[in-house]
Chain A
């Protein structure tokens, strides 16, 4: 990157299935206060503000008009990035790289519990000509992708179940998590079918929560912060958008974003150069598919790595020590944000009982969910 960009403040509310005691504005405000406190900045000192949000999930058109109050951004420049938090973070980095902004605040939140017709919103993302008239729940796309992925790579349903057991157990160590559980492989395999091979426990459950992150230019970061966390590489891609002509065995968007982010960050051997990865696990098989597409695992080997403990806390490359979306909760456009927060805590060595010893460099990845083939990757480091 032209000039290095660092994370100098994080704020997170914690996640829960419902949050009736707090409005979405108050939720974001809570995260924002923490982030600005960490950064040692009043919002008036922040140069520009970004919200990663999707109008349909909020129930407001032109949703960015409803965020300045809680971000401290009244009469300040604000924009929506209608994408995952990590993509918004990338926009923030580019703004700082222009040299015209020293600090940027990026927000994302989920009030998924307030969307009473969540499945309709998901269906509304399906192609109205070629898919929607089939009137199938949007999760069917995950089912058919999982089928083809397992068939072609030789990974198994049992190995997908291992992902769920691992991530939900990791979440037991994360006080922010909404869906922690101690499960067995059999619990997962016998959970009710959704779109087989996809079963109920294979899909992450929604959660509410908010995240705010403050970015700063290198000069500003060093002045503000004892432990700036550097964004060494960041990239996002859209792959084959039409699901009927996709190669379901791998995630093209993740592969493309990884190549670019690794090149920026100088990562030659991800398994060796990374200390941990927070991977999109909105569905169990997605963690395996993403690991193989990113190049952390060879094709057909992600399940084996999971089964043999390589990706558990204490393994060679811990994956989703936060608990991932399966354990913390699916927070839609905030999903990547939750993972960035975990990475920052790990790299500051402030992750408590789930701390990865001597963590120096980590990868965070997001995917925008069905039916998309869009995702982002960032490489974060404390050096």
Chain B
């Protein structure tokens, strides 16, 4: 929306740009240590597997893998791979980019989703994208499967899975 369209008396866009302001562009860079839990999870993705952690006390098979059970407040007892298939718990159809700029009409829509992974406890989902599917066809409860990057391109990141597609 242009400022001229706002129904109050104000500065024009040009006038506004000419007002004196102080600006600063921060350079903020971080490199977070993965540590044990995240480290094992990401290493596993690099090997083409989704890794969960098991807590003997509450019996949950938790995703992503973690070093301690946050509910029982004790170390997890073992790490185990689960399937790379699952069920869509919820999703959204995004018409804007990361920076809120609009996608062009012919650009594919992003479909972020929570996917409950087969083999993990109920409610243990991961966040990812859906692909190879018409946005209008996506349904809660839809069965999906991971589409992996080629092994030599994986780098230990959640993007080692490209997206999940219906199967």
Contact = CB atoms under 8 A, between A and B. Distances in A.
Interface of A: 19-27, 29, 32-33, 36, 42-43, 56, 59, 68-70, 72, 74, 111, 113-117, 120-121, 124, 128-129, 132-133
B63 to A, nearest CB: 14
18 contacts: A21-B33, A22-B35, A23-B35, A23-B37, A26-B35, A26-B37, A26-B68, A27-B35, A36-B73, A43-B73, A59-B32, A72-B70, A72-B73, A111-B33, A114-B33, A116-B31, A117-B28, A124-B28
A69 B72 CA distance: 10
Given A42-B73, A128-B24, A25 B35 contact: yes
Majority DSSP secondary structure for residues of B touching A: loop
Given A26-B35, A129-B22, A117 B67 contact: no
A24 B38 CA distance: 11
B97 interface: no
Contacts of A115: 29-30
Contact of A29 (B30, B31, B38, B68): B68
Contacts of A116: 29-31
B32 A132 contact: no
Majority DSSP secondary structure for residues of A touching B: helix
Contacts of B66: 69
Interface of B: 22, 24, 26-39, 66-68, 70-71, 73
Which one of A19, A29, A42 has the highest number of Cβ atoms from chain B below 10 Å of its Cβ? A29
A124 B26 CA distance: 7
A23 B36 contact: yes
Contacts of A124: 24, 26, 28
A133 B68 CA distance: 46
Contacts of B70: 68-70, 72, 74
Nearest to B67: A26
Given A26-B68, A68-B70, A69-B70, A120 B28 contact: yes
A43 B73 CA distance: 8
Given A23-B39, A25-B37, A74-B70, 10 more contacts: A26-B36, A69-B68, A69-B70, A70-B70, A72-B73, A111-B32, A114-B32, A116-B29, A128-B24, A133-B22
A70 B73 CA distance: 8
B26 A120 contact: yes
